[in-house]
């Protein structure tokens, strides 16, 4: 038995507050009406026992639904600390149960890794319970304390001697918080089985005293996640070898450790078409995936493509294997253990720790390559299945393209550089017009393929401004002039490419919006001066008739990619432009309140602050990795789009466009000269 010296009252760090939990319980445990939040309470307590097991102090956990609608979770770990907490003047046990951010999870000497809900788990359970009883066996004594609605009825007291060690918590959820407080045995069993798979060698027992026949179930898996994958495949059709037996005698098992991150992965393929991938961080399932899943998928695709190329399995079919082909029939459990994981929300549905992706990718790439080399007969049959999936996908794609948006295809076909989306209707789809192949590559990888298409344009397009103002003054026929202007436009390959991608007829004097292939046309150029110029040229094109109809009906938008990235520890902050950067610095520094904005001293403080910050200036969208581009510019949940609209004074709008984009150089020079004094932070 390990000693308890490193886990005492001074291990418990406190960051206060508990009323917020009762006010907004959904932020901490999820839905309080559909049962998910209720059972999340149970999981939080069990997770504390699992954390003791991960630290090497617990081997047995018991979960019991009692006949009085309470539930009891007991473990044989060290037991919650009972000595007085110096800062709080209470027992450490009471501090843990009543302070929101209090626990050994903040102290790395106590827990190297933890699944606990950032140290708020058990106090949240207490806050949302009508009553909670805590019994602690530690240091030869038995201790007891009882709570009502999160408040201790009395101080922790000694109630006897004990030869055991561990913690037992019994609680009754609050009927004022939850629509139903009845626990579902099957739901709890599913989580218990999951935890037993993820932590090999730990025994978890379960008993429901409300059942007619009382029966204790035991879950213990010495094979860990390897047995988990077998369990997932129990009822699925197996891939057979030549003898008619399961191709996989046992699933592949990969493990490795790098930079304090432990990685376990087990996988096999079955004869089905669906994927079953479960990803965990410190025993918590991420149903929305995250950086560990991205690293795994990237490594898997790379290894399989490498193996297929080395064995000349792709040349005769002229195919490229995609991630979707590999997913067919894949069953996989990916489990990582990491200190201080970062999640997108309190309920940990998505892992966002950026460093994890590269580490997982490196370990899986190395270990899976070795496994493929050691199991060539299995690898070849799996590759044959994947190639078959790729062939089927290719055939389906060609068939789909033959019938999809026929009107648009009859013109001159879709441009080859267009990465189209999967949805075949205008509603809900988006076309991103980007500058260059580099930005196009990041956008294609980062987008949502279902509804987002990407069209990279090469360089600066032709200035297509039509001089209608001068034509009217000179009395020329406007229709003839527009015809000549349109002919000039379609002499440019890039503009024809754009018109075709939109699904419109390049030669038509009028457009039918029903032919338009996308619900949103989004101009996404770099945040620098060149990007602004390209954006202006594209807007000039859309301002011309007949394409101005797209602006009039609200189809044209401007993306707002960041120009700067500020690194603060492990956190990244994205800044749109120079003005926003300046405002960010001002908001975070009180010194500027004493200095007049725009003065020499102001600029000298400002420059000093910039020099001390870790600021990355993006030269272009191509410098952003696909995930960054998605999070900042593509994701409808987080991005900021500007809709292009005409003002109420249309004549004034057209006059300004004529000044800036027309052929009258003197007029443009006068405009620049008169407005130069207003320019700040000129980016040239």
Cβ within 8 Å of residue 634, ≥6 positions away: 432, 443, 446, 447, 448, 452
Distance of CA 95 to the CA centre of its chain: 34
Question: What helix, strand, coil percent values describe the chain, rounded to 5?
Answer: 40, 20, 40
Residue labelled with tokens 């410190």:
282
Q: What does the DSSP 8-state code read for residue 622?
A: G
- Catalytic annotation on 526? yes
- Catalytic member of 44, 135, 328, 526: 526
Q: How many CA atoms lie within 13 A of 272 on its CB side?
A: 14
Q: What are phi and psi of 138, to 5 degrees?
A: -160, 140
Task: Enumerate residues 6+ apart whose C-beta is below 8 A from 601.
Answer: 595
281 beta partners: 284, 336
From the candidates 83, 366, 528, 623, which is the catalytic residue? 528
Catalytic residue among 394, 515, 530, 578: 530
Length of the chain: 684
Residue 171 and residue 184: Cα distance in Å, rounded? Answer: 15
| Options 47, 435, 505, 628, the catalytic residue | 435
Alpha-carbon distance values, 502 to 120, 406, 424 (Å): 51, 13, 13
- Strand ranges (DSSP E) for 185-288? 203-208, 217-219, 252-258, 261-269, 276-281, 284-285
Give the up-direction half-sphere exposure of residue 44: CA atoms within 13 A in the CB hemisphere.
Answer: 28
Residues 280/286/291/293 CA torsion (nearest 10 deg): 70
68 has catalytic annotation: no
Whether 208 is catalytic: no
DSSP 8-state assignment for residue 461: P
* Residue position matching structure tokens 């052929």: 663
Sign of the Cα pseudo-torsion (312, 315, 317, 319, in order): positive
Q: What is the DSSP letter of 633?
A: I
No. of H helices and E strands in the chain?
23, 26
Closest C-alpha to 531, from 488, 562, 565, 569: 562
Residue 604 and residue 221: Cα distance in Å, rounded?
A: 64
Gyration radius of the chain over CA positions = 32
Spacing of C-alpha 303 from chain mean position: 24
Q: Which residue in 380, 295, 375 sits closest to 332, CA to CA?
A: 295
Residues with catalytic annotation? 435, 526, 528, 530
């Amino acid at each position: 038995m390990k000693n308890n010296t490193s886990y005492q009252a001074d291990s418990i760090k406190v960051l206060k507050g508990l009323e917020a939990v009762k006010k907004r319980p959904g932020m901490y445990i999820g839905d309080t009406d559909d049962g998910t939040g209720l059972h999340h309470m149970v999981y939080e307590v069990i997770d504390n026992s699992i954390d003791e097991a991960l630290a090497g102090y617990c081997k047995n956990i018991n979960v019991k639904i009692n006949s009085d609608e309470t539930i009891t979770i007991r473990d044989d770990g060290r037991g919650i600390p009972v000595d007085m907490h110096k800062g709080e003047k209470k027992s450490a046990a009471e501090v843990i149960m009543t302070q929101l951010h209090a626990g050994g999870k903040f102290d790395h000497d106590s827990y190297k890794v933890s699944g606990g809900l950032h140290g708020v788990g058990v106090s949240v359970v207490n806050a949302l319970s009508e009553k909670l009883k805590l019994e602690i066996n530690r240091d030869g004594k038995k201790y007891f304390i009882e709570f009502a609605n999160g408040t201790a009825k009395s101080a922790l007291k000694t109630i006897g001697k004990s030869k055991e060690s561990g913690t037992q918590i019994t609680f009754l959820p609050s009927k004022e918080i939850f629509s139903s407080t009845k626990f579902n045995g099957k739901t709890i069993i599913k989580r218990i089985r999951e935890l037993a798979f993820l932590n090999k060698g730990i025994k978890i027992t379960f008993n429901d005293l409300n059942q007619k026949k009382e029966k204790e179930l035991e879950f213990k898996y010495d094979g860990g996640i390897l047995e988990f994958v077998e369990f997932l495949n129990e009822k699925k059709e197996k891939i057979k070898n030549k003898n008619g037996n399961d191709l996989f005698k046992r699933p592949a098992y990969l493990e490795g450790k790098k930079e304090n991150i432990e990685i376990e992965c087990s996988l096999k393929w079955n004869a089905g078409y669906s994927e079953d991938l479960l990803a965990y961080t410190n025993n918590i399932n991420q149903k929305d995936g995250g950086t560990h899943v991205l690293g795994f998928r990237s490594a898997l695709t790379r290894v399989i493509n490498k193996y297929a190329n080395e064995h000349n399995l792709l040349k005769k079919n002229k195919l490229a294997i995609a991630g979707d082909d590999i997913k067919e029939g894949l069953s996989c459990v990916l489990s990582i253990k990491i200190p201080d994981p970062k999640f997108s929300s309190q309920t940990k549905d998505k892992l966002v720790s950026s460093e994890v992706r590269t580490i997982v990718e490196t370990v899986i790439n190395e270990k899976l390559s070795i496994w493929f080399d050691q199991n060539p007969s299995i690898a070849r049959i799996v590759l044959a299945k994947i190639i078959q999936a790729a062939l089927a996908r290719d055939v389906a794609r060609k068939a789909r393209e033959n019938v999809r948006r026929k009107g648009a295809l009859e013109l001159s076909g879709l441009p080859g550089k267009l990465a189209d989306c999967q949805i075949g209707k205008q509603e809900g789809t988006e076309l991103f017009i980007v500058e260059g192949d580099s930005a196009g590559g990041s956008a294609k990888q980062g987008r949502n393929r279902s509804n987002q298409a990407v069209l990279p344009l090469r360089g600066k397009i032709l200035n297509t401004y039509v001089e209608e103002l001068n034509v009217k003054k000179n009395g020329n026929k406007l229709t003839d002039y527009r015809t000549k202007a349109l002919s000039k436009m379609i002499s440019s390959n890039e503009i024809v490419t754009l018109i075709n991608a939109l699904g419109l007829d390049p030669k038509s004097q009028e457009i039918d919006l029903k032919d338009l292939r996308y619900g949103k046309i989004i101009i996404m150029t770099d945040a620098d001066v060149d990007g602004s110029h390209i954006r202006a040229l594209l807007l000039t094109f859309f301002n011309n008739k007949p394409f101005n109809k797209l602006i009039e009906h609200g189809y044209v938008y401007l993306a707002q990619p960041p120009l700067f990235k500020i690194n603060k520890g492990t956190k990244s902050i994205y800044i749109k432009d120079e003005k926003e950067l300046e405002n960010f610095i001002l908001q975070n520094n009180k010194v500027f309140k004493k200095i007049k904005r725009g003065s020499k001293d102001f600029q000298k403080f400002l420059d000093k602050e910039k020099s001390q910050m870790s600021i990355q200036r993006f030269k272009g969208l191509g410098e952003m990795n696909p995930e960054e581009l998605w999070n900042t510019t593509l994701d409808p949940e987080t991005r900021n789009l500007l809709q292009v609209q005409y003002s109420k004074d249309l004549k004034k709008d057209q006059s300004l466009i004529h000044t800036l984009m027309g052929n009258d150089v003197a007029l443009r020079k006068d405009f620049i000269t008169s407005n130069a004094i207003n320019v700040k932070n000129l980016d040239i």
